[in-house]
Structure 1
Amino acid sequence: MQRLKNRAQFQAVMAGSTVSRTAHFALHRMELDAPTPLPTGPEAEKPKALFAVRDTWIGALVPKRWAKRAVTRNAIKRQIYTLSLQLSPPLPQAAHVVRLRSGFDRKEFVSATSPALKLAVRGELEQLFARASARAAT
């Protein structure tokens, strides 16, 4: 599994379709094009493809607007990356972005790294990926 690294990759995936949604998250997917051979000779100066490797790509988009504290944003991103690696069946070979689309209530989850918040995030992410895989199966 590869991670999305640059802005162009994130923008390309976000322009794709929304595969699944929960109360706090959305999963975007973009199918990868067929791999193109690397140019040789004078054509070697052409720009490189966004997704050089045909694999499953994953990115996490956790805006400051919805998670004010950096520790909360990092905890959510860790949950996204960890859970996406543990999926069975794994995500299809495509580029995916998990986007936080609304904030968690700070009155309910006082601590940024509380076990309750981690459990709530993990439960929603499991729902998100389950809905996406159910949709892909149909």
Structure 2
Amino acid sequence: MQRLKTREQFQAVLAGRTVSRTTHFAMHSSAPVMATDSLSPLTLSSKPELFSPDRTWIGAMVPKRWARRAVTRNLIKRQIYSIADHFESSLPQAAHVVRLRAAFDRTHFKSASSDELKKAVRMEIEQLFRLAASSQVKGRAA
């Protein structure tokens, strides 16, 4: 599984559709696209692809707005990438971004990287990936 790195890659995926949502997270998915805005045949052949079509790509977006402390942002990103590796075979070969869309209540967790927070984040991200995998299966059957 490849990781998204550039702003253009993240923007292309976020312009795609939302595949699944949970209380705190959303997963966006996009088909492979070219790194160009024009549809001219000359520019299409000269621009590199943002994503190679034969791989699964994953990106994690954890804004400071929803996770103020760097420790918490890093914990969430590590959980996303770890769980993405486990679900790689059930995801289609496309680019995916997992985005934190709401803050975890700081009063429920004693520290920015507590075991309770790790468990809560992991359970919710696993739920997000299961929902995404089941929606992909439904989409293929339809």
Shorter-chain TM-score: which interval? 0.7 to 0.9
Q: Distance in 2 between matches of 1:58 and 1:15?
A: 15
The separation in 1 between residues aligned to 2:118 and 2:19, in whole angstroms, is 23
Tell me the CA shift for residue 88 of structure 1: 6.7
> 2:84 maps to what in 1?
84
Q: Quote the offset at 1:87 in angstroms.
A: 1.9
Larger helix fraction of residues: 2
Alignment of 1:120-131 (within 5 A): 120-131=120-131
Query: Which residue pairs with 2:71 in the alignment?
Result: 71
Mapped to 1, the partners of 2:51 and 2:134 lie a distance apart of: 25
Amino acid at match of 1:95: A
Q: How does 1:29-44 map to 2 (within 5 A)?
A: 29-32=29-32
The offset of 1:46, in angstroms, is 2.3
Native 8 Å contact 1:71 1:113 kept in 2: yes
Query: Gaps spanning 5+ residues in structure 2: where?
Result: 35-42
1:9 equivalent to 2:44? Answer no
Q: Which residue is equivalent to 1:132?
A: 132
Moved over 3 A (4+): none
Mapped to 2, the partners of 1:101 and 1:116 lie a distance apart of 20
Judge conservation of contact 2:21–2:27 (CA < 8 Å) in 1.
Answer: yes
Instruction: Kindly tell me the number of residue pairs found equivalent between the two proteins.
Output: 130
- Checking the alignment, whether the CA contact within 8 Å between 1:84 and 1:90 is kept in structure 2 is no
Aligned match of 1:40: none
Give 3-state SS (helix, strand or coil) of 1:18's partner: strand
Quote the Cα distance in structure 1 between the aligned partners of 2:106 and 2:11: 29
Match of 1:113 in 2: 113
Which residue in 2 is equivalent to 1:57? 57
Root-mean-square deviation (CA, aligned residues, Å) is 2.0
Q: Percent identity?
A: 59
| Structure 1 unaligned regions, length at least 5 | 35-42
Distance 2:2 2:25 in 1: 20
Residue identity matched to 2:82: T
Per mean C-alpha deviation after superposition, the further-off stretch among 87-96 and 120-129 is 87-96
1:18-75 deviation per Cα after TM superposition (whole angstroms, max 9, x unaligned): 00000000000001259xxxxxxxx9x9221111462000000000000000010000
Aligned amino acid, residue 72 of structure 1: T
SS at match of 1:117: helix
